[in-house]
Amino acid sequence: MSLRNLFLRSLAHHNKLVKIAPCVSAVQNLKYNNYEEKNEWFYYNRKIATALLSAVVISTVQDDQNSKNEKDTLIDAGAKRPDLPTFRAEEVSKHDNKESFWVIYKYGVYDVTSFLPSHPGGEQIMNAAGYSIEPFWNVYGMHKTQEVYKLLESYRIGNLHDDDVADYSDDELWVKEPYRDKRLIVKTAKPFNAEIPPQYQIAHFDTPNELFYVRQHMPVPELSEEEHTVTVTIVGDGTSTISLTLQDIERFPQVTVRAALMCAGNRRSEMNKVKPVKGLSWQAGAISCATWRGALLRDVLLACGLDPRDPRNVERHIIFTGADIDATGTHFSTSLPLNAALAADAQVLLATHMNGERLPLDHGYPLRVVVPGAPAVRSVKWLQGITISTEESPSHWHQKDYRSFNPSKTWETADFSTAPPVYSLPVTSAVCQPLDGDTVTADDGHIDIKGYAYSGGGAKILRVDVSLNGGASWEEAELVTDPAPPRRHYAWALWSARLRLPDPKASTVDIWVKATDSNFNTQPENFDHIWNIRGILSNAYNKIKVNIKH
């Protein structure tokens, strides 16, 4: 049987031909709007093929067996079930406790709350709360039996959304993915993208490493601090190349910089409500703060022979290349204007440490760039190349993403080649406690509200105003900020306010928050006029509604 016939037979067998065919055709004809999307489609496409082929194998086995006993039919654990509802990974991740305990296996979503007391491995199962059990089963292979599959399927409640399905097979690209803290809110599993839950954002000024939000474009590469090198290339008359080991970099004066890193798409889900945008539907959890340690990139560049007074610098860029590669073998890369790294006060780090520990695998081990005040995409992880050039990075991530347009630009009219790259971030803020839809108990007619605020480019958060009456009146919140020199306020601010309810008997209240930074910029009131196709820079007032219990 040819592969094609197997494929078609499988499709027919699974009665999905009508559904799958247009999808495959759509994949083939897709005009990719950006590379990330293409990349995601690539994996998705492969995932379809893999899933179908597995199905074919199973079906073929079944056909060949001509099994007489229906009970003995092989269980295809985790296969799609068109009769069941679809869940996002984010929704599943909320069911992470003994009251409601869901897990994922391939396409399957399972509510195993009632099974917990019977788990032969005891509390070990808690590690998979709201998450996929597949990586654990890959380690603990005893689960992979028809009996366990059958038991698992008896708890089946739904299907995982296609975009969130991870391939935990022995695919060489993904096999080295690190263990992730189960408290992270998984947005997509492959590449791994996860928010820090809001209650943990406000619990620490420096986010614990394991709770720092994760935004990957590709699989995490496997590197070692002993063998890792960074190649510095200066393009020009007689292009020169210098190779530096981690030990070389650690010989420079070690500097610490406290900086929040925020994805340019943080809070995209709120902008998405105005009109759909393309991109991961981040809520307010794509920002965390840490104290980073490493060498000043400026020091390294000077040691490599760059002259900060060279007039050519104005036209030059510094391109960072990561060790992470996409399915076509292309390395992640982006760039900054050279002077942003070479200016006398530039605080760009080649960082080896995060909150006093070696960088975790998910955050660039053993070496990453930290560009404080810039969107996190510029802080390239797993750094292996630095190139000084008159050109910006040619990569798709640099050229076709992280650029801003006005609300009238469409994917057809937006010209990425003339739009300025996003090298800094506007002032923003969010409520982390309570959350939209929460029920809060009023205390003597008051409620407590907490959250964060941040502004890029080294601007300090000077004021956070909170309103419980749609902006008719505003109260200043108490701020916790990091002391830093002017124009170097790279950390976030945490804030809290205890506010009197405007109507002591109302059953709901709207909470609005806006921040003002040291340039006295403040947030736009609504998303309408900052809306953009990619859903980045989504910094309008955070507006939520909560229920009040009296």
Q: In whole angstroms, how far apart are CA 517 and each of 168, 230, 429, 464, 465? A: 44, 36, 11, 9, 12
Q: Is 420 in the site for a copy of itself (CB under 8 A)?
A: yes
CA distance 319 to 301: 13
Cβ pair 482, 258 in contact under 8 A: yes
| In the complex, least distance from residue 328 CB atom to a copy of itself, rounded to whole angstroms | 31
Q: Is 259 in the site for a copy of itself (CB under 8 A)?
A: no
User: Catalytic: 304?
Assistant: no
Q: How far is CA 155 from the centre of its chain?
A: 30
CA-wise closest residue to 454 among 280, 216, 289, 213: 289
The active-site residue, picked from 131, 263, 368, 490, is 263
CA distance 441 to 438: 10
Give the dihedral of Cα atoms 341, 345, 348, 354; nearest 10 deg.
170
Burial class (CB in 10 A: 0-12, 13-18, 19+), 156: middle
* Buried-state track 108-145, b at ≥16 Cβ within 10 A, e below 16: bbbbbeebeeeeeeeeebeebbbbbbbbbbeeeeebee
Please select the residue that binds a copy of itself; options are 222, 345, 443, 448, rule is CB under 8 A: 345
Q: Encode 65-78 in three state secondary structure.
A: HCCCCHHHCCCCCC
Q: What is the DSSP letter of 330?
A: P
Q: Is 343 in the site for a copy of itself (CB under 8 A)?
A: yes
Q: What is the DSSP letter of 421?
A: B
Please select the residue that binds a copy of itself; options are 426, 434, 451, 535, rule is CB under 8 A: 426
CB neighbourhood size of 445 (10 A): 14
Q: Is 142 in the site for a copy of itself (CB under 8 A)?
A: no
User: Catalytic: 143?
Assistant: yes
Q: In whole angstroms, how far apart are CA 409 and each of 277, 337, 394? A: 12, 25, 23
Only one of the segments 29-37, 51-59, 393-401, 473-481 lies at the binding site for a copy of itself (rule: CB under 8 A); that segment is 473-481
The active-site residue, picked from 43, 365, 402, 452, is 402
Please select the residue that binds a copy of itself; options are 493, 501, 537, 548, rule is CB under 8 A: 537
Query: Cβ closer to a copy of itself: 426 or 434?
Result: 426
Q: Is 528 in the site for a copy of itself (CB under 8 A)?
A: yes
Only one of the segments 183-191, 327-335, 381-389, 419-427 lies at the binding site for a copy of itself (rule: CB under 8 A); that segment is 419-427
Q: Is 243 in the site for a copy of itself (CB under 8 A)?
A: no
Q: Is 414 in the site for a copy of itself (CB under 8 A)?
A: no
Q: Is 422 in the site for a copy of itself (CB under 8 A)?
A: yes
Please select the residue that binds a copy of itself; options are 156, 182, 487, 498, rule is CB under 8 A: 487
Q: Is 476 in the site for a copy of itself (CB under 8 A)?
A: yes
Question: Which structure tokens are listed for 10?
Answer: 């499988």
Only one of the segments 143-151, 199-207, 230-238, 523-531 lies at the binding site for a copy of itself (rule: CB under 8 A); that segment is 523-531
Only one of the segments 33-41, 43-51, 281-289, 459-467 lies at the binding site for a copy of itself (rule: CB under 8 A); that segment is 459-467
| In the complex, least distance from residue 343 CB atom to a copy of itself, rounded to whole angstroms | 5
Please select the residue that binds a copy of itself; options are 52, 92, 359, 530, rule is CB under 8 A: 530
Please select the residue that binds a copy of itself; options are 184, 456, 489, 534, rule is CB under 8 A: 456
Q: Is 498 in the site for a copy of itself (CB under 8 A)?
A: no
Residues in the chain: 550
Burial class (CB in 10 A: 0-12, 13-18, 19+), 4: exposed
CA distance 360 to 364: 7
Q: Is 478 in the site for a copy of itself (CB under 8 A)?
A: no
Residue type, 188: T
| In the complex, least distance from residue 93 CB atom to a copy of itself, rounded to whole angstroms | 30
CA distance 488 to 256: 12
Only one of the segments 39-47, 98-106, 171-179, 405-413 lies at the binding site for a copy of itself (rule: CB under 8 A); that segment is 405-413
CA distance 8 to 14: 10
Q: Is 305 in the site for a copy of itself (CB under 8 A)?
A: no
Question: Which structure tokens are listed for 481?
Answer: 């900020």
**Beta bridge partner(s), residue 322:** 383
User: Catalytic: 263?
Assistant: yes
| In the complex, least distance from residue 537 CB atom to a copy of itself, rounded to whole angstroms | 5
Q: Is 255 in the site for a copy of itself (CB under 8 A)?
A: no
Q: Is 316 in the site for a copy of itself (CB under 8 A)?
A: no
Q: Is 340 in the site for a copy of itself (CB under 8 A)?
A: yes
Please select the residue that binds a copy of itself; options are 529, 545, 547, 550, rule is CB under 8 A: 529
User: How many residues form the binding site for a copy of itself (CB under 8 A)?
Assistant: 49
Q: Is 360 in the site for a copy of itself (CB under 8 A)?
A: no
**Residue 524: cis peptide before it, omega within 30 degrees of 0:** no
DSSP SS3 for 137: helix
Q: Is 445 in the site for a copy of itself (CB under 8 A)?
A: no
CA distance 17 to 33: 27
The active-site residue, picked from 14, 95, 215, 489, is 215
Query: Cβ closer to a copy of itself: 224 or 410?
Result: 410
**Residue 276: cis peptide before it, omega within 30 degrees of 0:** no
| In the complex, least distance from residue 460 CB atom to a copy of itself, rounded to whole angstroms | 9
Q: Encode 279-322 in three state secondary structure.
A: CCCCCCCCEEEEEEEEEEHHHHHHHCCCCCCCHHHHHCEEEEEE
Q: Is 471 in the site for a copy of itself (CB under 8 A)?
A: yes
| In the complex, least distance from residue 35 CB atom to a copy of itself, rounded to whole angstroms | 22
Q: Is 344 in the site for a copy of itself (CB under 8 A)?
A: yes
User: Catalytic: 402?
Assistant: yes
Q: Is 518 in the site for a copy of itself (CB under 8 A)?
A: yes
State the residues that interact with a copy of itself by CB under 8 A.
314, 337, 339-340, 343-345, 404, 406-408, 420, 422-427, 455-457, 459, 462-463, 465, 471, 473-476, 483, 485-487, 514, 516, 518-526, 528-530, 537
Q: Cite the active site residues.
A: 119, 143, 215, 263, 402
